[in-house]
Amino acid sequence: FLRLYTTPAPTPSAIPVLGKTYPTDAYTNITPAIVSKVSRQLHLQDGHPICTLRALVEDHFADFAHLRSVSPLVTPYQNFDSLSFPEDHPGRSKTDSYYLNQDMMLRTHTSAHEVEVFSEGKERWLLTADVYRRDEIDASHYPVFHQMEGAKIVSSDEAGVQAMEEDSRRLEHELSQSNIIIEDVPHVSGTNPAQPEHDPRHSEIMAKNLKLSLNSLMYKLFAGVAGATKEDPLRVRWIEAYFPFTSPSFEVEVFFRGKWLEILGCGVVLQSTLDRANVANEMGWAFGLGLERIAMILYSIPDIRLFWSEDPRFISQFKAGDITTFKPYSKYPESYRDVSFWKPQEGLHENDVYDVVRDIAGDLVEDVKMIDQFTHPKTGRESMAFRVTYRSMDRSLVNDEVNALQEQVIERLREHLRV
């Protein structure tokens, strides 16, 4: 009894992922719920919205190489160091990323493959893949989602730069015919500078071509969808951003049903990335699209969990290549349970609580929110309270079942997190 409540459950000494076995260590935090997602490959399932969207973007960038089957297991070097992330970047921590052990992790973004793809000599490429992040749980956040990396580089001499400019003229002409309103920011500015290695004029030309390429993609994807009709133009907003591996950097938001939605990050590729890939004499741009965010808009899919549903009422609604409006099947009732506890002495990260719930309840959990925090004024002890909302996409849950899930959550909070 004492042991149960005072020691964390032992981690197995090795875990199998994608047919290989990995030794565990103090870094290991991948859960069975996550391992079960690694083989799903939604972007390759014919008819799945993520697959159709991938194909649409590939059509748009027809003369790019299209990569689709790159393993999600990467080293921290690939995911962070190869992209010049600082040593103390929070993304590296166990609370934000899934580690098999200290030498192997699940990629948190498709940028993890930039150096390897550039070093294969590819100058124009798209790479679609599943990515993994320890994050909050709600209708638009899921610990697994899909990104599409796109990149284009040219030789950094006059010939390469002129080729970019020529392509930009073509895109400008195409966009001048479209019903789109673009809120722009400068290509390069004091707060979003060109890299010291770059001729600022060249950097401007790269950033401009990046913006035109993406504006053209947004128009292709969203024109005709509600909020982007003849009378009601598509609105795209460019925002200055920061990424450790691009400068200047931007994010793009699209206005849809009364809200601005962030759908991608991008920028001029850091020269050190290209140096590592042995293409030091080239320069260019890269972007990372969030495919679920875009698909939720295009198909009117209200909850990100639905992409993982194996219910025929979901998948049978879609046909490969077509964008159609999703008709929600009846929404079953929710049922919530609260749990509060004193924080253990060694501390506790919210993401650990989310993973416990996700691992036990799987897709039966709709939402987990921290609803209260309290510090005892005299003893300084801290408590936290969470509300777990359970709901099935496919059927009504009964109270006994929800109680049993919540019991297990509490049990696991005690055993694993020592609350």
Residues of this chain that interact with ligand FA5 (CB under 6 A) are 109, 111, 133, 135, 141-142, 145, 147, 243, 246, 262-267, 286-288, 290, 292-293
Compare residues 217 and 402 and give the one whose CB is closer to ligand FA5: 217
Phi, psi dihedral angles at 235 (to 5 degrees):
-115, 125
Report the alpha-carbon distance of residue 80 to residue 83 in Å, rounded.
Answer: 5
Cβ proximity to ligand FA5, 96 vs 411, nearer residue: 96
Identity of the residue, 240 or 382, whose beta carbon is nearer to ligand FA5 in the bound complex: 240
Q: What is the smallest separation between the CB atom of 198 and ligand FA5, expressed in angstroms?
A: 16
| C-beta of residue 393 within 8 angstroms of C-beta of residue 306 | yes
Residue written as tokens 């982007």? 228
Length of the chain in residues, anyone?
419
Strands (E), 270-316: 282-290
Q: Based on the number of CB atoms within 10 Å of its own CB, is 331 exposed (0-12), middle (13-18) or buried (19 or more)?
A: exposed
In this complex, which beta carbon is closest to ligand FA5, that of residue 289 or of residue 405? 289
Q: Are 356 and 412 in contact (CB under 8 A)?
A: yes
Least Å distance, CB 3 to ligand FA5, is 36
Q: Minimum distance from CB of 107 to ligand FA5 (Å)?
A: 10
Q: Which is nearer to ligand FA5, 146 or 202 (CB)?
A: 146
Query: Which residue lies nearer to ligand FA5 by CB, 286 or 405?
Result: 286
Alpha-carbon span 289 to 146, nearest angstrom: 8
**CA distances from residue 77 to 58, 105, 270, 323 in whole angstroms, order as listed:** 28, 10, 16, 38
Other CB atoms within 10 Å distance of the CB of residue 61: 18
Residues 6+ apart with CB under 8 A from 74: 104, 105, 106, 107, 112, 113
Shortest spacing between CB 6 and ligand FA5, in angstroms: 34
